[in-house]
Amino acid sequence: MTRSLPARSAVDKRSTWDSESVFADEAAWEEAVDSIVSRLPDLEEFKGHLGDSPDSLADWFDAIERARRLMARVMVYSTMAYSVDVGDQRAAARADRTRTTAAKLGAAASFAVPEMLAIGLPKLRQWIASSPRLSHLGHYFDRLEKLQTRIRSAEVEEVLTQVSDPLATALSAHGVLANTDLKFAPAVGSDGDLREVAQGTIASLLTHADREVRRTAFESYADEHLRMQHAMAASLAGGVKRDLFFARARGYTSSLEAALEPGHIPVEVFHNVLRTFRDNVGIWHRYWRVRRQALGLEVLRPYDTRAQLGATELKVPYEQAVDWIAEGVASLGDEYVKVLREGAMQGRWVDVYPNQGKRMGAFSSGAVDTKPFIFMSYNDDIFSMSTLAHELGHSMHSYLAWRSQPYIYSNYGLFQAEVASNMHQALTRRHLLATKSDPAFQIAVIEEAMSNFYRYFFIMPSLARLELEIHQHAERGAAITAEYLNNLMADLMEEVYGSEVDVSERDRARIGSTWAQFHTHLYSNFYVYQYATGIAAADHLAGQVASGDRQAVESYLSFLKSAGSMYPLEGLRMAGVDMTSPAPVEAAFATMSSMVDRLEALTQART
């Protein structure tokens, strides 16, 4: 018996996201793209005239906002269609056309920042003080002032914007390989049943109670990535060289500096994460030992590291997950919960279930003029509930930010984003542990917690270490090959496994392919470390928020609403945490250690 996924056309519309609210159909999308292209000459007419008067500058901001808001809707719509069926060639063509159009719009607007800097910040600040139409731009120009040495001439800025489209090809190629061209052999259970291995099912298969399902799914997924390893390595090398190109074009000393400085994050914050991670790998070694004993195994293999510990799988239907998440975040207020429930249930924010051709992963999307959409593949388990909580955290962050800030500050950085998502998971977990006393249920919730730590305090810091090494490797002029990436990744994984996880020679190659299995993360220059800072900040704040401390709740909601109107570290200080210190990351590892203690006690008590 083979268990397979439905075609996209067979999925109940009620469990799909509401793409029709963005554009009624493809024709409306085409019309929007044509409208953007037709506006480019009008935007270019502003060139050389921004300094004519405060009103001229205000007219520019109004015009570029209209164009960018429409562009954002175009991007959201094309991403929606392509993500749910990467084999849809019409959707792929729209996604490509979107990138090209975005690059054209960026090029048309590229003169503006150099021209504003040429006007001079003192004069711009005088205009802010005297013109109501510009009065909200103080923080925007403060940010420009901090980055002005990185801004090039209008001509160079135009070229840098134009090349962003072709230089994105490496990411596109990796995504096509991963989501379209990889063909996975089915997993085979001890009962002989075949289970489809796909981007939307692999997570649930790796937690399966049947060890044969886990082993064969792990091998199928890794081996197929290894079959494509050389093409994927070439793509990733292209992505790294893109990062180096942009860093050098703007005068940065490294790709790391180029990634962090625009977000006003000190480089030391990144190094704090890696240093604290390495100092705490012993917690992981203890966890693997507890896990092996709980599973009753003599030897723990890589495919056992996320295995279900309970005697029976905890089933969590989608509707139940929404209820538990809503109860978990209740301290954030009735209005917050009302919006969340409506969006997750009736508002079609979420594309819920896996289907054939659906790409891997989960993300929150949308723009100021759309709903805060969520992409995922829900599998009726507690881990899917955790993913839903995470993405709803992002979407509620966007919902509040878009309604609280003027357009220019409506977006927020990744450093802030991962706090909101992890806060939802932390609050939901606290609620369940406090209200469900059954030991088996408690074990399941702790498994969810450890799964989250696995991703954010093991895989992501390990990928961040790999990312730092391969960028430094490329900066020295060395080649990035599949063999180099596999060996480096395997070394990093085995350091965290320690002697507690037995890794065969063949499985070493499989865990070494982990870099290839993250199809977008390593193309977002030094993004992944922020998962660790996000979970640390959320863990630090969750206790006070969960207790109903009104000041803590209001400070946290103010942080969410601040979006781009404050520097990220300042916004987090307002919420109550200082991420320039390693203390929050150290405290989060202490929380993880306490979870291991609790898991050990629960699993020993049942024997």
CB 125 within 8 A of CB 117: no
Residues 292, 298, 304: CA angle, nearest 5 degrees: 45
DSSP 179: I
**Domain total for the chain?**
1
Q: What is the CATH number of the domain that holds 55?
A: 1.20.140.70
How, if at all, do strands 187-188 and 2-3 pair? unpaired
What is the average pLDDT score of the chain? 94
- Residue 307 has which token pair? 């295995």
For residue 115, tell me if it sits in a domain. Answer: yes
List the one residue out of 11, 33, 169, 17 whose CA is nearest residue 81.
Answer: 17
Q: Please indicate, yes or no, if residue 43 is contained in any of the structural domains.
A: yes
Alpha-carbon gap, residue 165 to 173, rounded angstroms? 13
Domain contains 458? no
* Closest to 432 (Cα-Cα) out of 419, 447, 451, 420: 447
Residues near 230 by beta carbon (within 8 Å), at least 6 away in sequence: 481, 482
- pLDDT per position as a tens digit, 27-41: 999 999 999 999 999
Instruction: Assign residue 359 a region (left: φ > 0; alpha: ψ between -120 and 50; beta: otherwise).
Output: beta
% of the chain beyond a pLDDT of 90: 88
Q: What is the pTM of this model?
A: 0.90
Q: Is residue 264 part of a domain?
A: no
Q: Which residues contact 196 (CB under 8 A, 6 or more apart)?
A: 2, 3, 4, 5, 184, 186, 187
- 375-433 pLDDT, tens digit per residue, is 999 999 999 999 999 999 999 999 999 999 999 999 998 899 999 999 999 999 999 99
29, 97 contact by CB (below 8 A): no
Whether residue 83 lies inside any domain: the answer is yes
Confidence of residue 312 (pLDDT cuts 50, 70, 90): confident
Residues 136-165: b if buried by 16+ CB within 10 A, e if exposed: bbeebbeebeeeeeeebebeebbebbebbb
What does the DSSP 8-state code read for residue 458? Answer: I
Q: Are 533 and 586 in contact, with CB atoms under 8 Å apart?
A: no
Helix axes 138-147, 112-119, angle to 10 degrees: 90
Confidence of residue 310 (pLDDT cuts 50, 70, 90): confident
Condensed to tens digits (0 to 9), the pLDDT of residues 522-548 reads 898 899 999 999 999 999 999 999 998
Contact between 525 and 258 under an 8 Å Cβ cutoff? The reply is: yes
Rounded to whole angstroms, the Cα distance separating 581 from 115 reads 38
CA distance 319 to 325: 10
Query: CA 442, 443, 448 angle in degrees (round to 5)?
Result: 95
- Predicted confidence (pLDDT) at residue 3 exceeds the cutoff of 80: no
3-state helix, strand, coil in the chain (%, to 5): 70, 5, 25
Q: How confident is the model at residue 434 (pLDDT cuts 50, 70, 90)?
A: very high
Q: What secondary structure, in 3-state letters, does 506-568 show?
A: HHHHHHHHHHHHCCCHHHCCCCCHHHHHHHHHHHHHHHHHHCCCHHHHHHHHHHHHHHHHCCH
Phi and psi torsions of 496, nearest 5°: -80, -30
Q: Residue 302 phi/psi, 5° resolution? A: -55, -35
The confidence band for 361, taking pLDDT boundaries of 50, 70 and 90, is: confident
Of 157, 196, 224, 391, catalytic: 391
With a CB cutoff of 8 Å and minimum separation 6, the contacts of 578 are 569, 572, 584
509 within domain boundaries = no
**495 is known as an active-site residue:** no
Rounded-to-integer distance, Cα 140 and Cα 117, Å: 12
Does the residue 320 lie in any domain?
no
Identify whether the C-beta of residue 364 lies closer than 8 Å to the C-beta of residue 394: yes
pLDDT digits (tens, 9 = 90+) for 103-148: 999 999 999 999 999 999 999 999 999 999 999 999 999 999 999 9
Where do the H-state alpha helices sit in 163-280? Answer: 169-176, 202-205, 211-227, 229-249, 255-260, 267-279
CA distances from 207 to 4, 30, 296, 381 (A): 18, 43, 16, 10
Q: What is the DSSP letter of 261?
A: G
Distances (CA, A) of 158 to 75, 162, 366, 501, 526: 21, 6, 27, 51, 24
Supply the pLDDT for residue 5: 85
CB 471 within 8 A of CB 522: no
Look at the block and give the residue holding tokens 């919902």: 399
84 inside domain: yes
Q: 1 pLDDT exceeds 90? A: no
Cβ-proximal residues to 557 (8 Å cutoff; 6+ apart), any chain: 332, 333, 336, 400
Q: Domain of 150?
A: 2-164
Residues forming beta bridges with residue 351, ordered by sequence position? 375
pLDDT at 97: 95
What's the Rg (C-alpha) of the chain? 24
